[in-house]
Amino acid sequence: MRRVQIHYPQIDKIDFPSVYRDYEVRRDDPFFDRNYNLCILCGRCVRVCHEIRGASTVTFVFRGSHAVVGTVLDRPLQEVGCQFCGACVDVCPTGALTERAIKYEPLPDDQAKTICPLCSMGCELDVMLNKGRILSTRPSKEGAVNLGQACVKGRFAIKDTVYSSQRILKPMIRRRKELEEVSWDEALDFVAQRLKSYKGKEIGLIQSPQISCEGNFLVERFAREVVKSQNVDFSTGISPLEAFYETAHKDKVKPRFNFKREEISEADVILLAGLNLAVSHPILWLEVLKAVRKGTKLIMVSPDEPLGGRHTTVCLRVKPGSEASLFNYLSKRLLKDEQADGRVLEGQEFFTTDLAKLTAAKVVESTGIDENTLNYAARLLSEGKSCFIFGMGLIQDSRIEQNLAALWNLALLNKGRIIPLGLETNSRGLFEIKRKSGQKTKPFDQIVQEVKGGQIKALYLFGPVPGNKKLKTEFLVVQDSYLNKMSERADAVFPAATFAESDGMFVNVEGRMQSFHRVIEPLGDAKPDWWIVSQLALRWGKKDFLYKKSSDILRELKKAIPAFSKVSTSAQKGGLPRFIQESDKEKEKFMPLKYQERTELTSKTYPFLLGSEYNLDYYRSLILSDEIKGFEIIRNPRWFKLNPKDAKRLDLEDGDEVEVVSPVGKIKGIIRNTDSVPEGMVRSCLFWIEEPSSSPLLPVKIKRGK
């Protein structure tokens, strides 16, 4: 709009009286304002919301001269299913929809590209800059991953993440019980000197899947070559990727992990299990919607009602933990339906005999879904090329292998594709580095045990660690971009640069290798992670750790791990997309069913199951809703989502303060009623950061708070 005025200043008189519609400007929504007095009803927001985002939150209401863009009964956006992806703001030609944060900012004078670090999709973003400062971010139209779309995180959270008030800007070391700001040399010398006093096995290093491949590779080498420790892993526990790999590995099955976004929309049937794709990976969800629009059948398997459930052909709301028997039953139906297919694969006989024991009545009882619906789902699956996408929901209790084996068999029978979806930005990259580096390392859980047992005396953290309160060591180094509970207790704190201030590469969930480049100068004295590690290694006299640029490390990474060999820093400049290399052949073999006894988690004292909603709503140790008010409105980490029936039983209403108590600890929060959560469950966003647990499902009881 500003530009229009600049270009056409000669319009000074309008022949007809203007009619001011006098709509109230809506300022109650997070992130953007809606002033429909400026709206010309071009319908672009309505179309993008309906046709591309599949959300249909805004639509034309009324008609003729009363026509206006609005929501049902004029409710605020957050009550009508809006995810605040900002697509409508980007297409609005008049300024009726405006991003609140930049309303009074100057126009951008420069533009740069970066990769969004806030989930494993790695959307390409255009960063608007003014005098070297980030104004806002938009989804890049050329982005191969996101095709001009973004979600609320990439669109509205980047700027505040980079300029957070919790940023660490100076190296600090603890002297006389106080953290003091010091120079880099002083801090590095201090840490090197202290670390040298421990043996390799006394040192633990916790990586972060949110830092670049280069950074993580160097940490790996640092552990191996400098401090000579095997205690190196990342903190977020098991990811679908790893779980799937390990389950398959045990049976000598080699699954493929690479996929292309388009493969999803080419399928005839899509089965989503254990994830809320529209929230956790909104960009992949768009691809699913694209498929649904052209007639693909969509099956969702989850205890909860996922967002966008109305796009499903059938939504199987299973009882938590009964996914495996559901998959097995579907396999059984498919076997019945497809006897003509003469193909016999390894393990099929076992599989068939095992399945024979499974009766419909049993499955109906354990899953809570009626037989007709089950058979309908099986029929849908038999209709064509299928694609199975699963997420954290399938690996959140102790029966991970059982779930994944069942899914694998089902997919194999159906000649379908399985896609495990990790959450963390660079989880695929880190996974490949760990898988292919050939070094034996201890898993995270074991490291935690050893810390608690006192075998590990010095800890070097690159990201957040769950259950941080209980991790006590003699010497603690925290390398992070944000202050957190661990940095308060640390003996040394290194200010790490964020993605916007450094170069590097992320491997996204598809296996696509994406480089990002420095957009702004590092804030304060912050330095890239690789620089800090390399400088530290130099204190041990390791000359081969001396790098000038991150691309030098990449060159080394390519040499060390052949999977990365196809990467090129120019990949984004119009080159072909670069993928992690892997062998194409999947071994076709059924896995044993691996029945695992179901242990009842809940009890009389702890009648509810607390589960997480798996969204990556944090960057390193910054919880987005702590910094960004809009996030608190749409996904408050303090919410405990409860089925209204349960809430009624407990006499709790929306907004009531409660305390959720588990055998291992307790957390406070606010009740939020929603139909999407099944009875007997409580859902919360981020609790694992606060609470340690080996199983993400916890039995809990709910007490009214004060």
Partner 1 sequence: MRTTGCHGFCERGPITVIQPDGIFYQRVKLEDVAEVVTETIRNKKIIDRLLYIDPRTGKKIIKEKEVPFYKKQKRIIFGNNGFIDPTDIEDYIALDGYKALAKVLFDMTADEVIAEVKDSGLRGRGGAGFLAGLKWEICRNVSSDVKYIICNADEGDPGAYMDRSLLEGNPHSVIEGMIIGAYAIGASEGYIYVRMEYPLAVKNITLALEQAREMGFLGDSILGSEFSFDIHVFKGAGAFVSGEETSMMASIEGRRAFPRQRPPFPAQEGLWGKPTNINNVETWANIPLILNKGADWYSHIGTRKSKGTKIFSLVGKINNTGLVEVPMGISLREIIYEIGGGIKDGKKFKAVQTGGPSGGCIPADMLDLTIDFDTLTKAGSMMGSGGMIVMDEDTCMVDVARYFLEFTQEESCGKCVPCRVGTRQLVEILTRITKGRGEERDIQKLQDLAKTIKAGSLCGLGQTAPNPVLTTLRYFENEYEAHINQKSCPALVCKDLIIYHIDPKKCVGCLLCLKNCPVDAISGERKQVHVIDQDLCIKCGACLDVCPPKVSAVVRYTGKKKERVLKNVQSKRAKK
Partner 2 sequence: MKKLLTESEANQRDLIHILHKVQAEMGYISPEAIAAISKHLKISENEIYGVLTFYKAFSLKPRGEHLVTICMGTACHVRGAPRILDEFKRGLCIEPGETSEDNLFTLETVNCVGASWTVEDQRCGQADRRNKEKFKGIKREGNSIKKMEKINATRLEELKAEILDSRKDQKTCITVCGGTGCHASDVFRLQMLSGMRLRGRS
Q: Would you tell me which residues interact with partner 1 (CB under 8 A)?
A: 15-17, 19, 40-41, 43, 60, 62-67
Which parts of this chain interact with partner 2 (CB under 8 A)? Answer: 50, 55-63, 70-73, 80-81, 310-311
Nearest CB to partner 1, comparing residues 93 and 132: 93
Nearest CB to partner 1, comparing residues 50 and 100: 50
Nearest CB to partner 2, comparing residues 70 and 699: 70
Are residues 433 and 631 in contact, defined by beta-carbon separation less than 8 angstroms? no
Nearest CB to partner 1, comparing residues 10 and 65: 65
Query: How many whole angstroms separate alpha carbon 585 and alpha carbon 583?
Result: 6
State how beta strands 504-507 and 513-516 pair.
antiparallel
Closest separation between CB of residue 675 and partner 2, Å? 10
Closest separation between CB of residue 21 and partner 1, Å? 11
Closest separation between CB of residue 16 and partner 1, Å? 5
Closest separation between CB of residue 86 and partner 1, Å? 25
Closest separation between CB of residue 60 and partner 2, Å? 5
Per-residue H/E/C for 571-615: CCCCCCCCECCCCCCCCCECCCCCCCCCCCCCCCCCCEEEEECCC
Nearest CB to partner 1, comparing residues 17 and 342: 17
Nearest CB to partner 2, comparing residues 50 and 457: 50
Closest separation between CB of residue 419 and partner 2, Å? 25
Structure tokens at 494: 């290194």
The torsion defined by the Cα of 348, 351, 353 and 357, in degrees rounded to 10, comes to -160
Residue type, 400: I
Pick what 538 binds: partner 2, partner 1, none; C-beta below 5 to 8 Å, kind-dependent. none
Pick what 58 binds: partner 1, partner 2, none; C-beta below 5 to 8 Å, kind-dependent. partner 2
Query: How many whole angstroms separate alpha carbon 151 and alpha carbon 501?
Result: 22
Closest separation between CB of residue 295 and partner 1, Å? 13
Pick what 15 binds: partner 1, partner 2, none; C-beta below 5 to 8 Å, kind-dependent. partner 1
Pick what 375 binds: partner 2, partner 1, none; C-beta below 5 to 8 Å, kind-dependent. none
Nearest CB to partner 1, comparing residues 5 and 65: 65
**Other Cβ atoms closer than 10 A to 445:** 13
Nearest CB to partner 2, comparing residues 108 and 309: 309
Structure tokens at 583: 């062998």
Pick what 50 binds: partner 2, partner 1, none; C-beta below 5 to 8 Å, kind-dependent. partner 2
Residue type, 81: G
Pick what 573 binds: partner 2, partner 1, none; C-beta below 5 to 8 Å, kind-dependent. none
CA 641 from chain centre, in angstroms, equals: 19
Give me the residues paired with residue 234 across strands.
207
Pick what 169 binds: partner 2, partner 1, none; C-beta below 5 to 8 Å, kind-dependent. none
Closest separation between CB of residue 62 and partner 1, Å? 8
Closest separation between CB of residue 674 and partner 2, Å? 13
Nearest CB to partner 2, comparing residues 16 and 62: 62
Closest by Cα among 168, 107, 209 to 423: 209
Pick what 80 binds: partner 1, partner 2, none; C-beta below 5 to 8 Å, kind-dependent. partner 2
Query: How many whole angstroms separate alpha carbon 357 and alpha carbon 328?
Result: 11
Closest separation between CB of residue 68 and partner 1, Å? 8
Listed as own residue / partner, the contacts of 600-603 with beta carbons closer than 8 Å and 24 or more positions apart are: 601/397, 601/697, 601/698, 601/699, 602/680, 602/699, 603/699
Per-residue H/E/C for 153-187: HHHHHHHHHHCCCCECCCCEEEECCEEEECCHHHH
Max Cα distance, the chain (Å): 85
Pick what 65 binds: partner 1, partner 2, none; C-beta below 5 to 8 Å, kind-dependent. partner 1
Nearest CB to partner 2, comparing residues 72 and 169: 72
Pick what 38 binds: partner 2, partner 1, none; C-beta below 5 to 8 Å, kind-dependent. none
Per-residue H/E/C for 13-52: CCCCCCCCCCCCCECCCCCEEECHHHCCCCCHHHHHHHHH
